[in-house]
Amino acid sequence: MVHLRFTFPQVIDPEMVLPVHYFKAAMEGNTNVGSLANRAADTCRILRSKHPDDPFVFHLSGMVSLVNGNSEAAKMFWGQALLMEPTYSDARETLEEFLGSAGTDAYLKKLTKGANFLRREHLREARRLLKAGKLGEADDFIQKACALMNPGYSMLEDYDTCRATAEMLRQAGKMDAAMCERIEDLRVLWAGVDGNAIDEAEANFAVAEDRKQFAAIAAEVLKRRKSDNVTCFELGCFTGFNLGLVRETLGATWAERVSFHGLEPNAAAVAYCRGRYPFIQIRQGTHVDLIDGGVPLPNILDACLIGRVFQMLHSDDVSVVLEFLGGRVRHLVIADDVVNVDGEFPIIRTPLYIMHNFRMPLEAAGFVVEDVVFADAPDRLCTGFIVARSEGIG
């Protein structure tokens, strides 16, 4: 059993009360404080900004991160507290519970080079393991890197555990119901997206490294076309920031040759896109509208972008969408959690979304996978990119 050390200081910032209350209540087994998780994490982030040299603030951040299911961020914050005050016993004893004495010293030595050093080290190891075909082990390091980048988020269930759970669900005939339950959760979540959430998403996503990499890959694909009339479509384009980044990456001269099209179900996001990115011919609708022929598009699309959409769809819907696109799209560029790309069946990445076994439905729809590129800066929802070419279009 892990013993956490926590001594309340004599002088406190009043804003510390909420995360302290949340941590203590959660450790006492009070399930009614779950709604405070995000507020507690956000408050800790603000406190770290206000008190960048206060080890207690970082120790408290570690406690809140641990309760929120992010042990990697928790260790980082305890380590940072110790680097500020090497005699801070609460942080040292807590960190040693997880790493041992020698492990704590080794961890602190790495942390002196910064949290980004730890993240880059995790990603280097992940890439080594990916090249060796050890997806489960690689995913563990990818998730650690993501956890350090997003200390306010919980860590996702690891690939091997999710795969084993999916196998049990399949054998029990319950996988379909489990996928439908996850899809409904995501539908409710996205239905609640309003103007404030859209503004925040636009600000965050437009500068996210994985979005820039997605745009760079898409731009490279578009530049393969030696034509003055190139078409680019994004399914589930939200506010259009991905297409905006693609256009920016292409540069003004090349972008003039491209017509941009988007489809998005959220009415508020569609309205935002029309105001922010007038060059995008956006329509409101879902993948069902696309398949039913209710979305007027050019007969042939040179590139189709699908970013973090398939993970919200049932595997049957993924297959139908790919089949529809098979004779209409020269190249697909998919941004998603691609660790399961060569899997035998889809699995659920607890607690968020579905990880599809992409290669099988892509090949069934007439696509050849040209490349699988792992993200330079992965996040919880996007570990990489798939570039696929239709065999039926010249």
In this prediction, residues 262-267 reach a mean pLDDT of 94
Same domain, 196 and 308: yes
Q: In the prediction, which pLDDT does 26 show?
A: 87
- Does 86 have pLDDT greater than 80? yes
Q: In the prediction, which pLDDT does 2 show?
A: 59
pLDDT tens per residue across span 133-146: 888 899 999 999 99
Question: Which amino acid makes up residue 367?
Answer: F
What integer best gives the mean pLDDT of the chain?
92
Q: In the prediction, which pLDDT does 384 show?
A: 94
Residue pair 39/16 in contact by the 8 Å Cβ criterion:
no
- Does 66 have pLDDT greater than 70? yes
In this prediction, residues 251-256 reach a mean pLDDT of 92
* 159-163: long-range pairs with CB below 8 Å, 24+: 159/135, 159/339, 159/340, 159/347, 159/355, 160/136, 161/350, 162/347, 162/348, 162/349, 162/350, 162/355, 163/136, 163/340, 163/343, 163/347
Residue 264 phi, psi dihedral angles, 5° rounding: -150, 130
- Does 262 have pLDDT greater than 70? yes
Out of 19-33, 59-73, 104-118, which region has the weakest mean confidence (pLDDT)? 19-33
Q: In the prediction, which pLDDT does 180 show?
A: 95
Q: 150 versus 70: which is more confidently predicted?
A: 70
- Does 343 have pLDDT greater than 80? yes
Classify residue 370: in a domain, yes or no: yes
Q: In the prediction, which pLDDT does 187 show?
A: 85
Same domain, 355 and 283: yes
Q: 189 versus 254: which is more confidently predicted?
A: 254
Q: What is the spatial distance between Cα 218 and Cα 262, in angstroms, rounded to a whole number?
A: 14
Give the CATH number of the domain where residue 258 resides. Answer: 3.40.50.150
- Does 1 have pLDDT greater than 60? no
Q: In the prediction, which pLDDT does 193 show?
A: 79
Residue pair 156/182 in contact by the 8 Å Cβ criterion:
no
HSE toward the beta carbon, residue 286, CA cutoff 13 A: 9
**Enclosing domain of residue 37:** 14-149
Check residue 225 and report its DSSP letter: -
- End residue of a domain, out of 130, 149, 168: 149
Classify residue 273: in a domain, yes or no: yes
Residue pair 236/307 in contact by the 8 Å Cβ criterion:
yes
CB neighbour list of residue 364: distance below 8 Å, 6 or more residues apart: 319, 322, 323
Same domain, 70 and 129: yes
Task: Give the position of tokens 């209710």.
Answer: 294
**Four-point Cα dihedral 19, 88, 121, 378, nearest 10:** 10
Same domain, 233 and 348: yes
pTM: 0.89
- Does 61 have pLDDT greater than 90? yes
Q: In the prediction, which pLDDT does 369 show?
A: 97
Classify residue 69: in a domain, yes or no: yes
Same domain, 181 and 34: no
pLDDT band at 394 (very low <50, low <70, confident <90, very high): low
Classify residue 4: in a domain, yes or no: no
Same domain, 81 and 199: no
Classify residue 162: in a domain, yes or no: no
pLDDT tens per residue across span 286-306: 999 999 988 999 999 999 999
pLDDT band at 110 (very low <50, low <70, confident <90, very high): very high
* Domain count across the chain: 2
Residue pair 297/336 in contact by the 8 Å Cβ criterion:
no
Classify residue 7: in a domain, yes or no: no
pLDDT tens per residue across span 7-30: 777 777 889 999 989 988 888 888
- Does 118 have pLDDT greater than 90? yes
Same domain, 191 and 131: no
- Mark out the alpha helices in the chain (DSSP H runs): 17-27, 37-50, 55-67, 71-84, 89-111, 115-131, 135-149, 159-171, 175-191, 195-205, 209-222, 241-250, 252-255, 267-276, 287-291, 315-326, 359-364
The percent of residues above 70 in pLDDT, for the chain, comes to 98
Same domain, 128 and 207: no
Give the CATH number of the domain where residue 80 resides. Answer: 1.25.40
Same domain, 133 and 219: no
pLDDT band at 352 (very low <50, low <70, confident <90, very high): confident
Out of 97-101, 199-203, 383-387, which region has the weakest mean confidence (pLDDT)? 199-203
Classify residue 314: in a domain, yes or no: yes
- Does 331 have pLDDT greater than 60? yes
Classify residue 325: in a domain, yes or no: yes
Same domain, 201 and 132: no
Same domain, 122 and 225: no
Same domain, 139 and 181: no
- End residue of a domain, out of 149, 166, 191: 149
